[in-house]
Amino acid sequence: MATETFAYTPCPGWGDHDYCVLKTIVQDGKIVRAEKTVYPNEDLAVGHICQKGLESIKQPYNENRLLYPLKRVGARGEGKWDRISWDQALDEIAEKLLKIREEYGAESLMFWNFIAGVPPMFGVGQLLASRFMSVWGATDTCQSYGLDNGPMFAGLYTFNNQFGGISINPRNLEGADLIIVWGANPVENQMRVAKSLVEARENDCFIYDIGLVFDATAGFADKFIPVKPGTDGFLALAMARYMIENNLYKKDYVTEKTVAAYLVDTETKLFARDGENYLIWDDAARNTVSIESGGALPASPGLFGSFTVDGKELKPAMQVLVDHLDSYTLTETERICGIDSATVIALCEAYAQAKKPYIMGALGLRYQNQGESYRAFYLLGMLTGSIGVEGAGVLTSLGCSSAPVVFNNAGIGRVEGMEQKTKFVRQKDFDKQIETGKPYPIKAFIKTSGNPAHNCPNRDRWVKAFNSMDLVVDIDIWMTDTGELADYVLPDCMPFERTEIVDMAAWGHVVLCEPAIEPQGEARDMNYILSGIAARVGLGEYFDKTTEEWLEVKLQTDFPPITSLDPPLTMERLKKEKLVAVNWPATPHFDPMLNLEPITLTGRMEFYAERLISVGMEMPTYFPPLESPSVDKPNDEYPYQFFTGRQRFFMQSMFTDDELMVELSGQEPSARMNPIDAKREGIVDGDKIEVYNNRGRVVIKVHLEESVPPGTIHVWFGWRQRQFEEGTYAELLIPLGHECTTNATGEIWYKEAKETYGEDDMGIAFATGYAGGWDTIWDCGCALRKVDNEKEA
Q: What residue type is 554 in one-letter code?
A: K
Q: Which residues contact 123 (CB under 8 A, 6 or more apart)?
A: 10, 498, 500
Residue 104 has pLDDT above 90, yes or no: yes
Residue 631 has pLDDT above 80, yes or no: yes
Secondary structure, 3-state, 412-449: HHCCCCCCCCCEECCHHHHHHHHHHCCCCCCCEEEEEE
Q: Per-residue pLDDT tens for 520-545?
A: 999 999 999 999 999 999 999 999 99
Residue 312 has pLDDT above 90, yes or no: yes
Q: Nearest Cα to 775, choosing from 15, 167, 183?
A: 183
Quote the mean pLDDT of the chain: 88
Distance CA 481, CA 18 (A): 26
Q: Nearest Cα to 787, choosing from 672, 669, 682?
A: 682
Q: Nearest Cα to 381, choosing from 239, 280, 247, 225?
A: 239
Q: Per-residue pLDDT tens for 46-103?
A: 778 888 888 889 999 999 999 999 999 989 888 999 999 999 999 999 999 999 999 9
Residue 763 has pLDDT above 70, yes or no: no
Length of the chain, in residues: 793
Residue 790 has pLDDT above 50, yes or no: no
Q: How confident is the model at residue 599 (pLDDT cuts 50, 70, 90)?
A: confident
Residue 391: Cβ within 10 Å count: 20
Q: What is the pLDDT of residue 789?
A: 60
Q: What is each CA distance from 528 to 121, 132, 623, in whole angstroms?
A: 19, 13, 49
Secondary structure, 3-state, 330-364: HHHHHHHHCCCHHHHHHHHHHHHHCCCEEEEECCC
| Average pLDDT of span 731-741 | 72
Are 665 and 648 in contact by the 8 Å Cβ rule? The answer is no
Most confident of 322-326, 602-606, 769-773: 322-326
Residue 712 has pLDDT above 70, yes or no: yes
Residue 108 has pLDDT above 80, yes or no: yes
Q: What is the CA radius of gyration of the chain?
A: 27
Q: Per-residue pLDDT tens for 156-193?
A: 899 887 766 667 778 888 889 999 999 888 888 887 88
Bridge-based pairing of strands 357-361 and 178-182 is: parallel
Residue 146 has pLDDT above 60, yes or no: yes
Q: How confident is the model at residue 511 (pLDDT cuts 50, 70, 90)?
A: very high
Q: Is 305 helix (H, G, I), strand (E, B) or coil?
A: coil
Q: Per-residue pLDDT tens for 672-690?
A: 999 999 999 999 999 999 9
Are 48 and 170 in contact by the 8 Å Cβ rule? The answer is no
Give, to the nearest 10 degrees, the angle between helix 341-353 and helix 232-245.
70
Q: How far apart are the first and last CA of the chain?
A: 54
Q: How confident is the model at residue 610 (pLDDT cuts 50, 70, 90)?
A: very high
Q: Which long-range contacts (CB under 8 A, 24 or more apart) does 718-721 make?
A: 718/646, 718/647, 718/650, 718/651, 718/652, 718/653, 718/655, 718/656, 719/650, 719/653, 719/656, 719/669, 720/454, 720/480, 720/481, 720/653, 720/656, 721/453, 721/454, 721/459, 721/481, 721/484
Q: Per-residue pLDDT tens for 448-494?
A: 988 888 877 777 888 889 999 999 999 999 999 999 999 999 999 99
Distance CA 508, CA 491 (A): 32
Distance CA 202, CA 64 (A): 44
Beta strands in 631-696 (DSSP E): 640-645, 670-673, 688-692
Query: DSSP secondary structure string, 156-208?
Result: HHHHS-SSTTSB--GGGGGG-SEEEEES--HHHH-HHHHHHHHHHHHTT-EEE
Q: What residue type is 556 in one-letter code?
A: Q
Q: What is the pLDDT of residue 443?
A: 96
Cα 73 → chain centroid: 37
Q: What is the pLDDT of residue 173?
A: 87
Partners of residue 350 on adjacent β-strands: none
